[in-house]
Chain A
Amino acid sequence: GESVGLHLPTLSVQEGDNSIINCAYSNSASDYFIWYKQESGKGPQFIIDIRSNMDKRQGQRVTVLLNKTVKHLSLQIAATQPGDSAVYFCAEKGWDTGNQFYFGTGTSLTVIP
């Protein structure tokens, strides 16, 4: 029969604009979160992380926001560049899951030159 693949959310932005990628999680015990970037044919690359005792963390051109009340995580990329085109995953683990991370389905970001 026909196989159904994951429906990846997609986001297209113009070069130079800001991008916002969202992620929802369900485990109330989640206390550590990571955003990964995966380019075609490569493994996921660490971008930025945040602990549950923080609401916001900034890196180079990236900011992660954590809203524990609604269990929502977002990744903001400033001045998006063509090299930012990739699939972005959020990952979370909780104090009750040992070292096992749970991954979102990913968002495919396309930057239009």
Chain B
Amino acid sequence: KAGVTQTPRYLIKTRGQQVTLSCSPISGHRSVSWYQQTPGQGLQFLFEYFSETQRNKGNFPGRFSGRQFSNSRSEMNVSTLELGDSALYLCASSPSGRASTDTQYFGPGTRLTVL
């Protein structure tokens, strides 16, 4: 099976712009989670989507949003970019997330740089 894919791999934006990142989960996986990874904060949970619904949300401002499509592909959007949004954004997929032992598999990430 193909792994989790994320596009684009690299992005450079300026403050105030918005950005959309895309994630395609492993075939058959229905849960998609997003994380932000920075040297200062480590891996921080953004949100999780399952069956096109946000099921869980981390402690991020409303500028961070996401959605999931019927084919389980997911997008996240960051509006009004700030310098502090520069990070590696990781997507992880799991079969359903309902089983307590559902493993999450990560994509390669999108490296966002805000200038």
User: What 0/1 pattern do residues 69 to 113 of A give for CB contact below 8 A with B?
Assistant: 000000000000000000001010101001111110110000000
Residues of A within 8 A of B42 (CB): 6, 103, 105-106
* B106 A49 Cβ-Cβ under 8 A: no
Q: Does B39 contact A (CB under 8 A)?
A: yes
Residue B97 lies at the interface, judged by CB distance under 8 Å to chain A: yes
Complex CA distance for A36 and B42, rounded to whole angstroms? 14
Q: Is A23 an interface residue (CB 8 A)?
A: no
User: Is B45 engaged at the interface, CB distance under 8 Å to the other chain?
Assistant: yes
Within the complex, the shortest CB–CB distance from A3 to chain B, in Å, comes to: 6
Max chain B CB contacts within 10 Å: which of A51, A89, A98?
A: A98
Give chain A residues whose Cβ lies under 8 Å from the Cβ of B103: 34, 46, 49
Q: Is A1 an interface residue (CB 8 A)?
A: no
Say whether, besides A6-B40, A49-B103, A100 and B108 are in contact (CB < 8 Å): no
- Name the interface size band of chain B: 20 to 34
Q: Please determine whether B109 and A43 come into contact, CB atoms closer than 8 angstroms.
A: yes
Q: Which of A6, A42, A46, A95 interacts with B100 by CB under 8 Å?
A: A95
Verify A93–B100 contact, CB threshold 8 A: yes
CB pair B106 A44 closer than 8 Å: yes
Q: How many residues of A contact B (CB 8 A)?
A: 27
Chain B minimum-CB-distance residue to A50: B101
Q: Are B31 and A99 in contact (CB under 8 A)?
A: yes
Alpha-carbon distance A31/B100, docked complex (angstroms):
8
Cα-based distance from A12 to B26 in the complex (angstroms):
34
A45 is an interface residue with CB less than 8 A from chain B: yes
- Say how far B84's CB is from chain A's closest CB, in angstroms: 9
CA distance A99 to B43 in the complex (A): 15
Q: Is B74 an interface residue (CB 8 A)?
A: no
Q: Does B70 contact A (CB under 8 A)?
A: no
Inter-subunit contact B106/A36 (CB<8 Å): yes
Complex contacts, B75 vs chain A, CB 8 Å = none
The residues of A with any CB-CB pair to B shorter than 8 Å are 3-6, 31-32, 34, 36, 42-46, 49, 51, 89, 91, 93, 95, 98-103, 105-106
Nearest 3 Cβ contacts at the A-B interface: A99-B97, A43-B106, A103-B43
